[in-house]
Amino acid sequence: MASNGAGNGEFSFDNKRRIGLPKIQTQKTEDENVVCHDDSATPVKAQTLDELHSLQKKKSAPTTPIKSPHVFGVAVSEEERQKQQLQSISASLASLTRETGPKVVKGDPARQAETPKVQQPVHHHPTPSLNISDSGLKFTHILYNLSPAELYEQAIKYEKGSFITSSGALATLSGAKTGRSPRDKRVVRDETTEDDLWWGKGSPNIEMDEQTFLINRERAVDYLCSLEKVFVNDQFLNWDPNNRIKVRIVSARAYHSLFMHNMCIRPTPEELEDFGTPDFTIYNAGQFPCNRYTHYMTSSTSIDINLARREMVILGTQYAGEMKKGLFGVMHYLMPKRQILSLHSGCNMGKEGDVALFFGLSGTGKTTLSTDHNRYLIGDDEHCWSDHGVSNIEGGCYAKCIDLAREKEPDIWNAIKFGTVLENVVFEEHAREVDYTDKSVTENTRAAYPIEYIPNAKIPCVGPHPKNVILLACDAFGVLPPVSKLNLAQTMYHFISGYTALVAGTEDGIKEPTATFSACFGAAFIMLHPTKYAAMLAEKMQKHGATGWLVNTGWSGGSYGSGSRIKLAYTRKIIDAIHSGALLKAEYKKTEVFGLEIPTALEGVPSEILDPVNTWPNKKAHKDTLLKLGGLFRKNFEVFTNYKIGSDSNLTEEILAAGPNF
């Protein structure tokens, strides 16, 4: 083994070998301290990495103290305001049997360096319960009204299936449920709702008793309090400041918190200071199931609404749309109590302030036709019509993404960016580019984004009284006219019917139309009898001079398979003529069976298609199909015929007379 000492010449350099190397000369400058281009910076003030990380985030500026409603004229400190806020949240999470709320503290448990100051549980009675549980000994960390950036971090770190896509949107999975579960939705039937709500045949309201609701509420609250952290959103519904509703959403997932951040109206810091007690609370336990042995339960999923308690409980589903539509149902109950009409519709406004409402079921073109670059978007789905005008209920949009293309829906495409929630989409694993045609998870892929992401959105989302009420139908039978002007009774009849026709495939490959009816164009969400909403609609239309229209975006010249789809360009011309008022000046004639008023001519639309009978080569087939559809309308309306509106049955008879007559 060779030694590496100086005795081994192989590794030594002697002076003789160094003679051939040139000596490096250095020149001294006048000032030895001058350094060329000194880009060194002042050292950071931190002594540890934790201190350095703490410098990265700037504390939010303290908000303006508010006047306490309890201590007149005394300003509440920031610390006291935070304490009151935590007391309110603790009260929301209180167990009804243990009579106390949990110990709550703000902040992410993963970032707590030491035991924080805790808000002691709120006792609802002078004598506290002696029973204590494990959850009563722990802190429940409250992640309160987090920003989208903070919620992204929570989702990506803790929720499997959360990814940032190439556009900046957050892709999430809703678990086993990729749509709503209407058969698992329950409403408490008690003295509050017994006479007010629509019960029985045709109604979406499936009853439960209060005891069962309280069992499910306790289950959800116990689950949420057992978690290390829960997300709490305090937000608003309804852009009308005189009639807005304060909602609190308590959830277990960052995905749910971000979804509701986008879909509800986001309060300013000043509005949050004075938020106080919410008008309605959602307890979303997500994947945690209900007990199937509990009375009224038909599966491990249950969505329960108690209107007297102003509470909603979600068990056994992570589909975020349950919260959105659950609150919409609540608004369908609360708003009519104030003589405000709640509507499942799109709404836009022209430059001159003319407002139009668009009603239509899936596939009728409601989104496409209400999105118009020449008009302001007030909202895409849920609205109120009060004595002040129209207002959007929501603060965001919930758009379908299946087959989404930049060319067809540029506004929706461009809205899918940072802050947007993408539900159940499929994306390329490396570049994270979304394939909107991929239905591997579900066909019901969705995007939830703030309404400000739409360039021509009107903020605040309010407008004057509507001039036009447009009912859209995709008639695959091909017998309804492209456009009809409706009188008030006809508007009520077709509003209650909520008709469209789907094209369903059969086993032998033959495709034929299937009539679909959904009362008030949103039967799954209404609380009262459809005729009550219809009567309110007619009253407001009459009072404010609005005109009703029935627009068919479906087939012409025959049913599906023989006729052809009415061109979108023609439908747009019709909608433009409605907005401009030109269609009111047209000459009209009446059709048979349905008795609809149709224009004889309209600029930009071939006159022959305005009356469907002209486009059918086989006139007998047209008449047979027309009578068939009329019969389907009659059969559907039977469930409403025995319901009286007002003190007598005159209005009911007037609506019935506005239907098919043969």
Please identify every residue annotated as catalytic. Answer: 180, 325, 344, 362, 366-367, 381, 446
Where does residue 4 fall: left (phi above 0), alpha (psi -120 to 50 degrees), or beta otherwise?
A: alpha
**Rounded to 10 degrees, what is the CA torsion of 181, 186, 192, 197?**
60
State how far the Cα of 175 lies from the Cα of 491, in Å rounded to an integer. 41
Q: Furthest-apart CA pair in the chain: how many Å?
A: 124
Q: Are 349 and 376 in contact (CB under 8 A)?
A: yes
Instruction: For residue 462, list its beta bridge partners.
Output: 391
Residue 189 burial (CB count, 10 A)? 17
**Rounded to 10 degrees, what is the CA torsion of 549, 550, 554, 557?**
-100
In the chain, the amino acid numbered 127 is T
Single out the residue of 323, 476, 494, 377 nearest to residue 484, CA to CA: 494
Which tokens hold the place of 42?
């002042």
Contacts of 584 (CB under 8 A, 6+ apart): 485, 547
- 5 vs 9, 12, 557, CA distance in Å? 9, 9, 103
Report helix angle 619-637 to 488-497, nearest 10: 80
**Rounded to 10 degrees, what is the CA torsion of 444, 448, 454, 460?**
130
DSSP 428-496: -TTT--EETT--SS-S--EEEEEGGGSTTB-SS-EES-EEEEEEEE--TTS-S-SEEEE-HHHHHHHHH
Single out the residue of 490, 476, 604, 492 nearest to residue 540, CA to CA: 492
Count of CA atoms in the C-beta half-sphere (13 A) of 463: 27
Report helix angle 254-263 to 148-158, nearest 10: 150
State how far the Cα of 605 lies from the Cα of 302, in Å rounded to an integer. 50
Instruction: For residue 103, list its beta bridge partners.
Output: 139
State how far the Cα of 660 lies from the Cα of 662, in Å rounded to an integer. 6
Question: Which segments of 7-120 does DSSP mark as H helices, in order?
Answer: 15-18, 49-56, 78-92
Report helix angle 530-544 to 321-337, nearest 10: 60
State how far the Cα of 427 lies from the Cα of 439, in Å rounded to an integer. 11
Contacts of 395 (CB under 8 A, 6+ apart): 235, 236, 239, 262, 263, 264, 265, 266, 450, 451, 461
Which tokens hold the place of 289?
């199931």
State how far the Cα of 84 lies from the Cα of 89, in Å rounded to an integer. 9
Secondary structure class of 207 (helix, strand, coil) = strand
End-to-end CA distance of the chain: 114
Residue 420 burial (CB count, 10 A)? 25
Residue 572 burial (CB count, 10 A)? 16
DSSP β-ladder status, 341-344 and 564-565: unpaired
